[in-house]
C-alpha cells in the first residue's frame, strides 16, 4: 500500500517571504510531501513504530494510515485515584497486574490522581490503561517523547512484554530511535528516509547489575518507594544493586531464630527501573547466595519472603525457584506500655514464599 501525503504551502506574496525564498533558492512552493510504501497487511503483527525527526510527517502518516483510529492521549478523571480511573468496570486484580506489568509498581502512586503523577508515571499509567482496555488498534502519538530516556526505554520494553501476552495492535509514534531495540516492534516506518521495514523479534538489550553489601545507609533513599511504611530491619544485612553506578535495587536479609532460615524484606526497585525484570533477578541472586552459605554465618540458609504487593506475589508464584507457603489476611501488631496496636495500621493480604532451589 502506497501512502502519499501532501500539505500544500504556497509561498505568500510578501517582501519577507520573497526575500527568504530568493536567498535560499526556494522555488515554486514550500509544500510538504511524503511517499511511503507500507504493506501492513502482508504479515500478522502486534506492535509497530513510526519514527523520525520532528517535521518529517509522522503524525500525518499515522492519520493517513489509521484515520479516525488515530488516538491522542485519553482524558483522565480529574480527582479519581489512578486505581479507580483505569478500567473501572474491570476486576481490581487486572488493573494492578497491568500497573505492575508496565513498571508502575510504586503503590502510593496508585492512590494519586493522574495529574499528580510525574511525567514518567503518567506515561506508564497510560500504557497500563491500554493493557486493561485492550482496543483492537491503539495509535499513540508522542510515544516516550516527553520523558527521561531511561524511563522511556525500560517502559517501552515492559509494555511490549505485556502487550504481546494478549490480542490487539499497537502503534507508537515517536521522534526517538532509542526505543526500537527495547520496544521490539514488528515493523518500523522511518519518515526521515521514507522507508518501511519488517523486523524480526530479538531480545531486548541486557542490563548488568553490580550487587554490594552495605550498612543500611541507602535505605532512606529507597524507603519512600516501598509500599509499606516500616522501620529498618533488626540485625539485618543490607544489599544494594547498582546499574552504571546508580543505586536501583535494595533488599535486607536477617536470620530467623535458631539460624534455620533467613528472612528477606524491604525489596525496592527505583521507579524509573521498574518493569525491566530487575527485582526478581536481584531477589533470586541473593536468595541463592544465602542458600549456598555465602553470608556472614557461613551457613546455607533457605530464604523466606513475605509480600502484600499483588504484582510481586503473582511473579513469585510463576517462579519455579519459589514455593508459596502461606496466604492470609492479617495485621502486624506491636505492644508498647502494655497496649497492643497495629504496626502502621496495616491490614492486608500477606503471602509467604520460600526459596526452594536444590
Q: Does the pLDDT at position 328 exceed 50?
A: yes
Q: What is the pLDDT, as a whole number, of residue 334?
A: 42
Separation CA 344–CA 106 (nearest Å): 18
51 and 191 part of one domain: yes
Distance (Å, rounded) from C-alpha 295 to C-alpha 237?
9
CA distances to 44, 124, 214, 328 from 150, rounded to whole Å, are: 30, 13, 25, 37
Q: For residues 256 and 8, what is the distance between their CA atoms, to the nearest angstrom?
A: 74
* Residue 223 forms part of a structural domain: yes
Q: 144-148, 160-164, 246-250: lowest mean pLDDT where?
A: 144-148
Query: Does residue 74 share a domain with residue 1?
Result: no
CA distance 259 to 296: 12
- The pLDDT value recorded for residue 330 is 58
The C-alpha angle with vertex 23 and arms to 20 and 25, in degrees rounded to 5, equals 95
Inter-CA distances, 264 with 26, 37, 267, 287, Å:
68, 55, 8, 8
Band of residue 163 on the pLDDT scale cut at 50, 70, 90: very high
49 and 191 fall within a common domain: yes
**Residues 218 and 285 placed together within one structural domain of the fold:** yes
- Are 144 and 176 contacting, i.e. CB atoms less than 8 angstroms apart? yes
Residue 84 belongs to a domain: yes
- pLDDT, average across residues 234-263: 93
Tell me how crowded residue 159 is: count the other CB atoms within 10 A of its CB: 30
The answer on 74 and 7 residing in a single domain is no
Asked if residue 132 and residue 29 are part of one domain, the reply reads: no
The answer to whether position 205 is within a domain reads no
Domain assignment of residue 331, yes or no? yes
In a domain, 204, yes or no: no
Q: Is residue 89 part of a domain?
A: yes
pLDDT of res. 73: 62
- The per-residue pLDDT for range 190-247, each reduced to its tens digit, is 999 999 999 988 888 888 999 999 988 999 999 888 877 777 777 899 999 999 999 9
Q: Which of 103, 135, 139, 137 is nearest to 122 (CA)?
A: 103
Range from 13-27, 157-171, 240-254, 295-309 carrying the lowest mean pLDDT: 13-27
Q: What is the mean pLDDT of residues 332-341?
A: 41
What residues make up the domain containing 30? Answer: 1-37
Say yes or no to pLDDT of 108 above 70.
yes
Final residue belonging to a domain, choices 134, 169, 198: 198
* 90: CATH: 3.40.50.300
Residue 189, domain member (yes or no): yes
User: 144, 173, 198 — which closes off a domain?
Assistant: 198
pLDDT at 183 over 80: yes
Q: Tell me, yes or no, whether 71 and 140 share the same domain.
A: yes
Domain CATH number, residue 324:
3.40.630.30
pLDDT tens per residue across span 43-55: 999 999 999 999 8
Is residue 163 domain-shared with residue 224, that is, in the same domain? no
Q: Which tops the pLDDT comparison, 31 or 189?
A: 189
Q: What is the rounded average pLDDT of the residues 21-26?
A: 82
Query: Same domain, yes or no, for 106 and 59?
Result: yes
Same domain (yes/no): 193, 224: no
pLDDT category at 343 given cuts 50, 70, 90 is: very low
Does residue 243 belong to any structural domain of this protein?
yes
Residues in the chain, how many? Answer: 358
75 and 28 inside one domain: no
CB-based burial label for 345 (10 Å; 0-12, 13-18, 19+): exposed
Residue 38 has pLDDT above 80, yes or no: yes
**Are residues 11 and 58 located together in one domain of the fold?**
no
Q: How many domains does the chain have?
A: 3
pLDDT digits (tens, 9 = 90+) for 265-311: 999 999 888 888 899 999 999 999 999 999 999 999 999 999 988 87
Among 169, 198, 227, the domain boundary falls at 198
Amino acid at each position: 500500500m502506497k501512502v502519499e501525503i501532501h500539505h500544500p504551502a504556497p509561498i505568500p506574496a510578501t517582501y519577507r517571504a520573497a526575500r527568504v525564498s530568493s536567498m535560499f533558492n526556494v522555488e515554486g512552493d514550500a509544500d510538504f510531501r511524503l511517499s511511503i510504501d507500507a504493506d501492513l497487511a502482508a504479515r500478522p503483527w502486534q506492535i509497530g513504530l513510526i519514527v523520525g525527526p520532528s517535521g518529517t510527517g509522522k503524525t500525518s502518516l499515522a492519520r493517513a494510515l489509521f484515520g479516525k483510529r488515530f488516538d491522542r492521549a485519553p482524558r483522565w478523571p480529574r480527582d479519581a485515584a489512578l486505581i479507580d480511573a483505569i478500567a473501572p468496570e474491570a476486576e481490581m486484580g487486572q488493573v494492578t497486574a497491568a500497573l505492575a506489568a508496565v513498571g508502575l509498581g510504586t503503590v502510593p502512586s496508585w492512590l494519586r490522581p493522574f495529574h499528580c503523577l510525574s511525567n514518567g508515571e503518567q506515561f506508564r499509567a497510560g500504557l497500563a490503561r491500554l493493557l486493561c482496555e485492550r482496543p483492537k488498534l491503539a495509535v499513540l502519538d508522542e510515544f516516550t517523547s516527553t520523558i527521561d530516556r531511561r524511563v522511556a526505554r525500560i517502559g517501552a520494553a515492559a509494555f511490549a512484554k505485556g502487550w504481546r501476552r494478549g490480542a490487539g495492535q499497537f502503534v507508537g509514534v515517536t521522534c526517538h530511535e532509542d526505543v526500537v531495540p527495547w520496544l521490539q516492534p514488528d515493523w518500523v516506518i522511518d519518515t526521515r528516509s521514507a522507508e518501511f521495514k519488517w523486523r524480526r523479534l530479538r531480545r531486548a538489550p541486557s542490563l548488568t547489575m553490580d550487587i554490594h553489601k552495605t550498612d543500611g545507609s541507602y535505605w532512606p533513599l529507597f524507603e519512600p518507594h516501598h509500599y509499606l511504611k516500616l522501620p529498618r530491619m533488626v540485625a539485618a544485612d543490607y544489599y544494594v544493586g547498582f546499574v552504571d553506578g546508580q543505586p536501583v535495587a535494595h533488599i535486607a536479609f536477617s536470620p530467623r531464630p535458631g539460624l534455620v532460615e533467613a528472612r528477606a524484606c524491604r525489596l525496592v526497585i527505583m521507579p524509573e527501573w521498574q518493569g525491566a525484570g530487575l527485582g526478581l533477578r536481584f531477589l533470586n541472586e541473593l536468595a541463592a547466595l544465602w542458600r549456598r552459605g555465602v553470608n556472614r554465618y557461613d551457613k546455607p540458609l533457605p530464604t523466606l519472603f513475605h509480600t502484600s504487593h499483588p504484582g510481586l506475589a503473582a511473579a513469585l508464584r510463576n517462579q519455579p525457584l519459589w514455593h508459596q507457603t502461606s496466604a492470609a489476611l492479617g495485621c502486624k501488631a506491636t505492644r508498647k506500655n502494655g497496649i497492643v496496636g497495629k504496626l502502621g495500621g496495616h491490614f492486608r493480604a500477606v503471602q509467604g514464599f520460600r526459596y526452594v532451589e536444590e
